[in-house]
Structure 1
Amino acid sequence: MQAKTRGERNNNPGNIERIAANKWQGRLSDAEYRTTRESRDNAGRFEVFSAVEWGIRALAALLIAYQDRHGLRTIRGLMGRWAPGQENDTSAYVDHVARLTGFGADTLLDLHSYEHLAPLVRAVITHENGRNGYANATIDEGLFRAGVKPPGKAVVNHIADRAKTTVTVAAGGTAVISAAVTALQQIAPAVPILHDLAGLPVIALAAVGVIAAAGLLIWLATRRR
């Protein structure tokens, strides 16, 4: 049996570095981290997660942030930030990821799309670890926790459903929805509906809000009984 790679051992197949400011969901606490091999043998450089699904979520969320915050939408641009030249052979990284995904290095991607994000995540895992030993279901769960819904997977968390309703009622537009994404992800593992809601016109959001408000009032009245 092959020994686990560092990324596999840390439940961090993207080899994301541990930075105090990045409070990833599922990361080990400082006390737990100090007991790990990563902390002892590698000066605490890389993050350690409690389960690989959280590590995959962080990988996916970071790639999405590169797109949304920095406007990086190609493999060349994304991998240039993910694996900068001072530490990596970025050109080789880009070529390998492009070959594994089947996308051109300069093809425009939409990382809110499962069809684009999933192959990219698998390719990064393969490049970082020399293999991808994770079942598709495991990767899909990580993407779902990052807010990208795999085909056929439904949101079944009732807390998430209520939270999404509350945000829709409060918003009346897209600004509050966008601002609430981070908070809601702390309430429930995934809320992919937010991306869809944010793309609706304001008038449509308002209509949804009125309907949701009525439903919320009924639910609150029912709770008091």
Structure 2
Amino acid sequence: MVGPSNGYGEQYVTTKPAQSRTYRGGTELLCENTEPSGRIEVVPADGGNPGVSVVDVLQGATAGPVDYSLFGGYTIAATQVGAVQHKNLPPVVATPQTSKQLAVATYNVENLAPGDPASKYAQLAHGVVTNLAKPDIVAVEEVQDNNGVVAADQTLTKLTAAISAAGGPKHDWREIDPVNDQDGGEPGGNIRVVFLFNPERVSFVDRGAPSGAFQRLIRSRGDHRGVSA
């Protein structure tokens, strides 16, 4: 396997194990919209989920009709799935930064919302504290709003509290609220990227809103480059 099972029972295998191989046994996508030729998605036709991880192996025959998807290349709608041989690949644990180093990480929290269970927040916090080794700055992807338009302070308060409870620092954050239903994600979710940072290690210089005269100038030119909230 070169990709773990997701919540929809989808996973990727490869027919060319040495092709674009990562150090963890996955397959690297070297550029946008380019699929390695050996990478194939397997989806059980009965809706089952094999629960595999990277470097696990499907033993015996996996068979079914083959289709092609613009979202992932060739797909097998598997009417027969081989037996799973689990390799139990351990999660990656980062090396903690020294006092003279700055650690920066990205972290996709997969449409995190205030209504998500506490177990999800705890798992994400464990990832930040243990697996990412408490980075100084975390660019967090797919943070949803408060189930309203469009602030996300409730989501971020719960996330940063969970990180602190897991033994991490008390993070501050900065983000720009998206325009309602314009930036992708689930309808009404209004996902955005948020920068979490440890104020004991780094500081954030707020630029503030542009002046009224400058706002009028850029509107008249139709050019919004260089403007930040």
Q: Shorter-chain-normalised TM-score: which range?
A: under 0.3
More helix by percentage? 1
